[in-house]
Amino acid sequence: MCGIVGYAGSRQAAPVLLDGLEKLEYRGYDSAGVCVHNENGLEPVKAKGRLSVLRDRLEGGSALPGSVGIGHTRWATHGAPSDRNSHPHMSWTGKIAVVHNGIIENEARLREKMLRKGATFSSETDTEVVANLIGYYYEKYGDFVLAVREAVVRLEGSFALGILCKDVPGKIVAVKKDSPLIFGFGEGENFIASDVPAILKYTQTVAYLEDGDMAVFDGDSVEFFDSTGEPTEKKREKITWEMSAAERGGYDHFMMKEIYEQPKALRDTISPRLRNGQVTLEGIDLSAEYLKGLRKIYLVACGSAYYVSVLAKYIIEKTCRIACEAMMASEFRYCDPVVGKDNLVIFVSQSGETADTLAALREAKARGAQTLAIVNVVGSAIAKAADQVIYTWAGPEIAVATTKAFTTQLSVVYLLAMQMAKTLGTMSVGEYNALISGLESLPYDVERVLSQRHLERCQYLASRYHAHHDAFYIGRNVDSGICMEGSLKLKEIAYLHSEAYPAGELKHGPISLIEDGTLVVALATIEPLFDKTMANIKEVKARGADVLCVTLEGYEEQAEKIADSIIAVPKVHPLLQPSLSIIPLQLFSYYVALYRGCDVDKPRNLAKSVTVE
């Protein structure tokens, strides 16, 4: 969703802002803009479309003088994408410029109020209401910081704001609630941004702003205030990853780079947690007494993280014998869930800022449940709000379609399930040791699936199937969870209509959609269920389906007799098998998207971090 960036220092601001916005492109956007404070006062320049349109308009930034400014990439919520609705927005007085990430829920009431005070509006956005509100209080009190404070206490909803005032050259005020905002400390220059990559080129020292925090800064200094308006200190944190982690590094797309980063991401996530043949999740406190008293574990998330939760249900129930339920975060709050003290609620999120997941977490806490988050972004809202957190060490994930975050989330599920099973005594020593050695070799097994041979096979299969209009993914047990993820990958980046069903469910309705040439992707990687899935493949073959089957090495011959094409993955411990089965589906979707001429890293209508409900 929207990205914001702000710069104060001695460089020309516009190129720095454009640079930062480019690094936030992954969040998803449909227009962009900057506003710089210079000798003409506040000078906003905005453009609908890709950042390149704005870049051209600004001649790479050189056409806009001034060394203090704010920038924005917009993902439309209030009003269609247009130059007019793009940020920054100015107050009707012309003295205040605002960039905003989030949603102002009481926008309609505030708009009415401001109209009565004589304000005028030139866009349909909620952000212009914020600019006018600050503008109004600035006229009233003549004090920039006070005006922001007065306005912000009247806002309901979520916001990260970067604000300039025409009368206060050199200064930026930034404030946040429920939308991410970081502060970057430079030498004679300071920054704000929605995410680290936007400023990493200039500084590795950052502070994560908390809800209610305000930063008032210029190039030389910064003052932080907490939600009560009291001065406060912010902890300076060092970003340990390099800029190269957020660059394509020779790959055509971030998605392919991130697919290939999976062995490393898995190693970084798993290895530090395996010590002397034991799983050790530092800081995670789940005693036997507590676990034995649990009525149910809920797993709550959105999109691919929800599919990890679906898989987690199988894995935790199998290993710990505790009932689990996977729920979509967007539904959790609205179904009056039976959640309380005797429930552990696990939240899964790459970004740690997904609005629905965060809201569900607050709901679970309010109902007295213990909460645990599996998160990739350190210091994110979900990581901070949960009682306990386990990080995936996937590094920055830039492509909208998740790959390495998915597989590392799954690896944390294995670790957590094993730690809980050990505590509960629900797993035999032999089984525990088998899983430990399976986890140790998992990164190498993933490397094997990423071999040139597999890559070429997936490319070939994509060339064969990319022109289909519909696809059905079927599988049983954990394969059905992988089908959901594989199907989502195909939809989101290749725009190919696709659905996923547990294989046994197809004949209860969806099979009526199978006709001559319909693509069915069947997963058959669970040995005891292999024959059952083959029977389901025969059913769709009998109705004309063109079947691509993902199975285990050693089963090719049997599968080939029934399916039209095969891809085989190495056989590993059955609980770990999903980590390998998903890889060919990621590669298949990637190549189908390329054959269909899609923008793999920036699929239409999608945002990397979904910060609105």
CB hemisphere CA count around 561 (13 angstroms): 6
**Which residues between 382 and 401 bind ligand M6R (CB under 6 A)?**
400-401
> Whose CA is closest to 488, among 261, 305, 266, 257?
305
Among 101, 132, 190, 354, binds ligand M6R (CB under 6 A): 354
Please measure the distance between the N-terminal and C-terminal CA atoms of the chain and give it in whole angstroms: 11
Number of residues that bind ligand M6R (CB under 6 A): 16
Distance in angstroms (rounded) separating the CA atoms of residues 196 and 206? 8
Region binding ligand M6R by CB under 6 A among candidate stretches 113-121, 274-282, 347-355, 589-597? 347-355
Distance in angstroms (rounded) separating the CA atoms of residues 73 and 87? 8
Is the Cβ of residue 189 or residue 261 nearer to ligand M6R in the bound state?
Answer: 261
Is the Cβ of residue 436 or residue 606 nearer to ligand M6R in the bound state?
Answer: 606
303 touches ligand M6R (CB under 6 A): yes
Query: Does 117 qualify as catalytic in the annotation?
Result: no
Distance in angstroms (rounded) separating the CA atoms of residues 557 and 554? 7
Q: Residue 367 class from Cβ within 10 Å (0-12 exposed, 13-18 middle, 19+ buried)?
A: middle
91 touches ligand M6R (CB under 6 A): no
Query: Does 2 qualify as catalytic in the annotation?
Result: yes
Region binding ligand M6R by CB under 6 A among candidate stretches 298-306, 527-535, 540-548, 573-581? 298-306
Region binding ligand M6R by CB under 6 A among candidate stretches 13-21, 302-310, 422-430, 474-482? 302-310
- Return the SS3 of 567: strand
Is the Cβ of residue 110 or residue 484 nearer to ligand M6R in the bound state?
Answer: 484
Pairing of strands 388-391, 370-375: parallel
- β-bridge mates for residue 491, sequence order: none
Is the Cβ of residue 217 or residue 347 nearer to ligand M6R in the bound state?
Answer: 347
Site string for ligand M6R, 435-474 (x = CB under 6 A): ----------------------------------------
350 touches ligand M6R (CB under 6 A): yes
Tokens of 341: 């003290």
320 close to 435: Cβ distance less than 8 angstroms: no
The H or E element containing residue 404 is helix 404-424
Among 45, 610, 611, 612, binds ligand M6R (CB under 6 A): 610
349 touches ligand M6R (CB under 6 A): yes
In angstroms, how far is CA 101 from the centroid of its own chain? Answer: 15
402 touches ligand M6R (CB under 6 A): yes
- Return the SS3 of 467: coil
Quick check: bond before 88 cis, omega within 30?
yes
357 touches ligand M6R (CB under 6 A): yes
Task: Tell me the closest approach of the beta carbon of residue 355 to ligand M6R, in angstroms.
Answer: 9
**Alpha helices for 84-189 (secondary structure H):** 107-116, 126-141, 144-152
Task: Tell me the closest approach of the beta carbon of residue 497 to ligand M6R, in angstroms.
Answer: 17
Tokens of 145: 């910081």
For ligand M6R, the nearest residue by Cβ is: 303
Site string for ligand M6R, 551-580 (x = CB under 6 A): ------------------------------
DSSP 178: B
Is the Cβ of residue 190 or residue 407 nearer to ligand M6R in the bound state?
Answer: 407
Among 161, 245, 305, 593, binds ligand M6R (CB under 6 A): 305
Is the Cβ of residue 89 or residue 491 nearer to ligand M6R in the bound state?
Answer: 491
Task: Tell me the closest approach of the beta carbon of residue 192 to ligand M6R, in angstroms.
Answer: 21
Tokens of 273: 């947690």
573 close to 590: Cβ distance less than 8 angstroms: no
Distance in angstroms (rounded) separating the CA atoms of residues 316 and 413? 8
70 touches ligand M6R (CB under 6 A): no
Task: Tell me the closest approach of the beta carbon of residue 36 to ligand M6R, in angstroms.
Answer: 32
354 close to 329: Cβ distance less than 8 angstroms: yes
Binding site for ligand M6R (CB under 6 A): 302-305, 349-351, 354, 357, 400-402, 488, 492, 609-610
Catalytic residues, which ones? 2, 608
